[in-house]
Structure 1
Amino acid sequence: MWADEAALDAAGRRLDEWESGLAAQAARARDLAARTQALTGIARSDDGLVEVTVDAAGLLADLRLDERTRRHSAAHTARQVVATARAARADLLRRLTEATAETLGADDPAARAIVDSHRRRLDPDQGPPDARR
């Protein structure tokens, strides 16, 4: 089947390189998964009355309201919470994008696909993830 030993050796080297490349890619994917699962997004309203933390999925993990919110209407505070939650998801998207670029490389097609997927899910202009259900 092989014309000579050199062609067989070259084919073996290519297979070894392919296998090691796949192993390295799998290791980077595991590293990225571990990094992104630990990420959060945090934002504070301009007036400092509302602080929101979202988890790696973009869901509300913590909400802190300053006592001064009592001086405002419930509607005002609600608007602040929603806007700050959107900003927290934007912060999470920024952190996810950075972690992906650092782990896989900004030009990697898989990295671009991962970031695009997160962007569709977390884009602050699309509203909160809970509202789209």
Structure 2
Amino acid sequence: MDERILDPDGARERLAAWKGRIDQLAADTEAMSERMQAVRVTASDPNGLAEVTIDSTGTLVDLRLTDRIQRVPPTAVAQAIMATLGDARARMADRSQEIIADTIGTRSAAGRAIAESVGQHLRGGPAPHRPVHHDDDEGFDSHSYLRER
């Protein structure tokens, strides 16, 4: 039988070390969260049509269009916006993974899982298409996103 299991002092030391690691992980995770929430990324398209700003979740928080959009077809403007949004999200994924590495690290399973999840979310494909169903609700969308899950 392992004598370390029966040693009360040794068990207390192991428990204290484990608690210390958990407390440090909690503090590092909080620091990561605070830094991530503060990050914004702004990207511009190469033709100078649009500039987008996103938050750490990849949500569009600002869109600026230049007067150049008046000289191109609407489809080109839409493509520029979508491509620039994709670029901003890729840059946000890179920045987020830097923050994760700096705070909680990527050696732990938790760090790797968070980094992978953030990368997939920000670099993933477009949001799922949600068809709009108009009933007798005066044009309001009665389709629930929750039913798709």
Same fold (TM over 0.5): yes
Give the 5 Å matches for 1:26-105: 26-105=26-105
Decide whether the 8 Å contact of 1:54 with 1:88 is kept in 2.
yes
Match in the other structure for 1:110: 110
The structure showing larger relative contact order (alpha-carbon pairs under 8 Å, at least 6 residues apart) is: 1
Considering fraction of residues, name the structure with more helix: 1
Structure 1 unaligned spans of 5+: none
Structure 2 unaligned spans of 5+: 131-144
Decide whether the 8 Å contact of 2:48 with 2:68 is kept in 1.
no
Decide whether the 8 Å contact of 1:41 with 1:90 is kept in 2.
no
Bigger mean CA deviation after superposition, 33-42 or 95-104: 33-42
Query: Number of aligned pairs?
Result: 127
SS of 1:106's equivalent? coil
Deviation at 1:7, TM superposition (A): 2.1
CA distance in 2, matches of 1:94, 1:123: 10
CA distance in 1, matches of 2:34, 2:58: 16
Moved over 6 A (4+): none
1:62 maps to a residue whose letter is D
Identity %: 34
TM-score by length of 1: 0.86
CA distance in 2, matches of 1:40, 1:131: 26
TM-score by length of 2: 0.77
Decide whether the 8 Å contact of 1:42 with 1:91 is kept in 2.
no
CA distance in 2, matches of 1:122, 1:36: 13
Aligned CA RMSD, in angstroms, stands at 2.0
